[in-house]
Structure formats: C-alpha cells, structure tokens
Amino acid sequence: MGCFQSKIPHQLPPPPPPPPQTNSDLDGNGEQQAVPAFNEFSLAELRAASNGFSTDLIVSESGEKAPNVVYRGKLKSNRVVAIKRFSRQSWPDPHQFVNEAAMVGNLRHKRLVNLIGCCAEGDERLLVAEYMPNDTLSKHLFHWEKQPLPWEMRLRVAYHIAQALEHCNAQGLKIYHDLNAYRVLFDEEGDPRLSSFGLMKNSRDGKSYSTNLAYTPPEFLRTGRVIPESVIYSYGTVLLDLLSGKHIPPSHALDLIREKNLLLLMDSSLEGQYANEDARELVELASKCLQYEAIDRPDAKFLHSAVAPLQKQEVKISSH
C-alpha cells in the first residue's frame, strides 16, 4: 500500500505525565467509588446539582439538528456527574425515553462512560453519566495546546473504542449514534472511553433520527435510518481523524489510499513515532470500515481483533 518515510526511533519520547487525580469518582478517603446502579432522578435534584442549569457549568453545547447541552454537576452524594439536557422536542414519549435510558444504564464496562441515571419530568429529558475530567478526543486531536496526541495514544483510542463497541454488541445494543471525536472522552486516569450517550436513539418517532455527524454513513443519506453497520462506517471516520490529525472527507481519504499517497494522509506531527506496518494496518482497517455497502464492512468483533495487536506501550493523556 505504498511506503512511509517514518521509522520507529529506538526510544519514544517520554509520555506526558498523567493528570492529577480529581475527586469526580473518589470518596472522602480517596478511594475509587463503584459506579452506582442506574437511578431515576427528580428534576429538582438535577437542577440543584447543576446550580439551576447554570451556564457557568456548561461543558458541551452542540447540535443544530439535534441540540443538547451537557452540564457539570454534583449530586448530593458529592459525586461529580455529566448532565445532558435534551431539547424539549427530542423525546416526546417519556416512557420510551426512560425505558431506553434504563436499558443503556444497565450496561457497565470500563471502556464506557457509564450512564447512571435519567429524568423525564414534564417536558424535560435529561441523562446523567460519569464525569470525564480530561476533555474529548476532539480537543486533544484538533485543538491541542501543549503537544499533539502521541501515536501510541491514538492506537489506544482505536482499541478502547473497539472494545466498547464489541461489548455493546454482545449485550444486544448494536446501534450507536453519531460516533465521532466528541464521543470519546478521557477519564481521571487519562484513558479514553466511549460516551454512553450515543447508545440513545434521540428519535422523535422511534424510527427516524437526527444526526450531527459531518460525514454520515451512506445508508443514512439514502433512508434517514441507521443500522448496526453504520457505526462501523463512523469508526472508520474516527480512524481517519487519528491518522491525519484533521477532519478529512472519507471520499478524499479513500482516493489517497487507492493512489498509495499515504504520506499525504498521515499527520506530519507523528513523524518518527510509528512503525510503517502499524500505520498500514490502521489505514487498511479504515478503508474496510468506509465501504459504501454496509454488507462489505467488518463487524465490531473484527475491529477489536484488528487493533488489539497494535497495543504496545502505556501512555496517558496530559491534563489541561
């Protein structure tokens, strides 16, 4: 698939130091709290936790087509959480919302940002999840301040997402919505996790969906629906993000791959960090994921098996 000019140095530069521990999941003795069981919260509880949904506590605000706001909040138990508040029109049926939230909330995995609660009171629809203090993949990949995201961490992101998706598939949750660099967050230890928010349909009628993806799967453009294979396509776009360090249209990336212009695809800041064969493996996997026909894409189990051998070195994300 063409030649790279990069070689692995004898010793990689030292990884950035792990972030200082926060109290987001620590009790008074500094011990790690277990993830609590899923719970229905009252609107009053979540309003108090977010200081009246204060704009000062907004950590994410996105989505013209499917608008939502995420707040940093603190429950009465002192647990710091992320509270996602949907637009009033997103979930007209409160029973559908609670049932779906409970199904996702029963899912637990170390690679997921676990969902711990919801609220469906009046017109309000809110989700409550673990709080991740070290920002999103988008921030570290596209808007870094100190140093670009190391190659080994990019491989770790690909691996952890694949692990999370395989687990979701095994538990019967095969559809994940809007997988992109904003859905990957870094926990207090600097490890990447996949947001559980993407497991919720955000569907007005249970069939059609809104999306905030820049590059949508072909079948969504044709039908307005997503299928289990759609997340594989989106995983391929995330691999392109990791390889290139920028947003790149899948059609352009596939042209570069077919023409064997792989150096034009790779992030120049990664020079000297990766083995040629590892980069080729990831490029080839991205190409398989981005196939136009859903039936030609691999499944989540294949993703896991493909990226697992590339894991070599422990690195942590630097805190901001």
pLDDT in tens, 178-206: 999 999 999 999 999 999 999 987 555 44
In a domain, 203, yes or no: yes
Residue with tokens 């598939």: 169
* pTM, full prediction: 0.85
Q: Is residue 168 predicted with pLDDT exceeding 90? A: yes
Q: From the CB of residue 141, how many other CB atoms can be counted at a distance below 10 Å? A: 23
Same domain, 200 and 273: yes
| Per-residue pLDDT, 50 | 98
CATH number at residue 200: 1.10.510.10
Closest CA to 236 of 265, 260, 208: 265
Domain contains 23: no
Q: Let me know if residue 44 belongs to a domain.
A: yes
Residue 9 lies in a domain: no
> Does 162 reside within a domain?
yes
**Could you tell me if 250 and 290 are in contact, meaning their C-beta atoms sit under 8 angstroms apart?**
yes
Is the pLDDT at 313 greater than 60, yes or no?
no
The answer on 172 and 58 residing in a single domain is: no
Max mean pLDDT among 63-67, 205-209, 232-236, 277-281 falls in 232-236
The reply to whether 75 and 188 lie within a common domain is: no
**92, 215: one domain:** no
Average pLDDT, the chain: 85
State whether 160 and 120 are in the same domain.
no
Domain check: are 235 and 218 in the same one?
A: yes
Positions marked active-site: 178
Q: Which of 96, 130, 164 is the C-terminal boundary of a domain?
A: 130
Residue 175, pLDDT > 70, answer yes
Is the model's pLDDT at 155 over the cut of 80? yes
The contacts of residue 202 (CB under 8 Å, 6+ apart) are 66, 86, 90, 91, 177, 209, 210
Q: Residue 93: which domain range?
A: 39-130
pLDDT band at 207 (very low <50, low <70, confident <90, very high): low
304 in the same domain as 169: yes
